[in-house]
Structure formats: structure tokens, C-alpha cells
Amino acid sequence: MAETFINLALFTMLVATAVAITRMRRLFGVVMMAGVFSLLSAMLLVTLDAVDVAFTEAAVGAGISTVLMLSTLTLTSRIEKPSTHTPMIPLVVTVITGAAIIYGTLDMPNFGDQNAPAQTGVAAQYMADSPEDMHIPNVVTVILASYRGFDTMGETAVVFTAGAGVLMLISGLRRRRRRDGVDDDDDPEESR
């Protein structure tokens, strides 16, 4: 029951974050909320026992993507320009894409099916051999830390690099504002 509540709470926060992203006009806030969306997605994936996918979502979605968007933001305007086209075209494309994704999942095996391809491959070997090989009871930890250790190390390096990049961008922006004589709280584009 508690797990269902946590999943529903995380999913509700995901939806609220997505709505907030679509309503915001300040691009820095949009970038930060996109990072929050990725971290919430990673938390939801952890509750679904997909820890490796959660690592990737945190590293790529919240890490590298946020750094790239912040880098782009330093070169562009900080406020979104008003749209010149109707929002119906993106809505139609989104609905068609969503329908195609749902159609693609119709022939997938049922959730938790013992005969699913994911259960009949090396998963059985990992489940059987990991307690004796590593003496760690959590199979996911064994797979991530041992069998896929280099992959996990790479993802951790990506998260560290993203964090260092964000800190460098923020410090560079502050130095540029001080050099140009603009206070951090006084945004010239807000008055437009």
C-alpha cells in the first residue's frame, strides 16, 4: 500500500512539474524544472526496481541535458518569445506520437511474466550466481557494482561532470554580470 502511495505521489509530482514547465516563460526556470522532472523520473524508476535506468536518467536527463541547456541559455535570451504559430500542430504531433507508442506496447508481455524475454536470458543466471559470487544479497547492487561496474562508473563520472559544469556556468555568469556592472538581483530583461 505504501509503495502504491509513493508511486502515485511521484507520478502526481511529475505531472505537476510538466504543467509548470509548459506555463513558465523564464527559460532558466524551465531548465531547472526540466532537471527536477528528470530527477523525479529517476526516483519513480527506483521505486519500480529499475535502478540502472534511474542512474541513466539522472546522469543524462538531469545531468548532461541540464548542463547543455544552461550552456545554451548563456548564449540566448532569458525570456521566451511569444509564439507566432498555433499550438495545434505540436498537440497533433504529440497525440500521434503517443498513440504510436501505445500501439507499440500492445504486444509486450505482461508485467512480471516469467516467460518474458527479460526473464529468460541472463537474468536467471544473475539471480542464481550473484549471492555466491559476490556475497551480497541485493542482486541489483551486484549487477550495477560488479557485473556492470565500468558502466556505473561512467554514469557516475557523467553526473560529476554535469555538476562541475553547472557550477562553472553559474560562476562564469556571476563574473560576467559583475564585469558588466549588473547586479544578480537586477535583471535588465525583466523590465522588457
- Residues 25-43 have pLDDT tens digits of 888 899 999 999 999 999 9
The pLDDT of residue 95 is 96
Residue type, 21: I
Residues in the chain: 192
| Torsion angles phi and psi, residue 146, rounded to 5 | -120, -65
pLDDT at 173: 65
Question: What confidence category does residue 190 fall into, taking pLDDT thresholds of 50, 70 and 90?
Answer: very low
116-144 mean pLDDT: 78
In terms of C-beta density within 10 A (0-12 exposed, 13-18 middle, 19 or more buried), how is residue 53 classed? middle
- Residue ranges of the domains in the chain? 2-82+148-180
- Nearest-Å Rg of the Cα atoms of the chain is 22
Give CA–CA dist 30/80, Å, rounded. Answer: 10
Q: What are residue 26's DSSP bridge partners?
A: 79
Q: Taking a C-beta distance cutoff of 8 angstroms, is the pair 77, 189 a contact?
A: yes
Write the CB contacts of 165 (distance below 8 Å, at least 6 apart in sequence).
67, 70, 71
Cα distance between residue 35 and residue 19, in whole Å: 14
Q: What residues have CB less than 8 Å from 9, skipping those under 6 apart? A: none
* Integer Cα distance of 130 and 136 in angstroms: 7
Comparing 4-8, 107-111, 152-156, the range with the smallest average pLDDT is 152-156
Q: pLDDT, tens digit, for every residue of 68-90?
A: 888 888 777 777 777 787 888 88
The H or E element that residue 58 is part of is none
* Residue 18 pLDDT level (bands cut at 50, 70, 90): very high
Is residue 51 within 8 Å of 144, Cβ to Cβ?
A: yes
Average confidence score pLDDT of the chain: 81
Identify the H or E element spanning 148. Answer: none
pLDDT of 103: 95
What's the rounded Cα separation, in Å, for the pair 21 and 17?
6
What pLDDT score does 41 carry?
Answer: 92
Q: Is the pLDDT of residue 152 over 90?
A: no
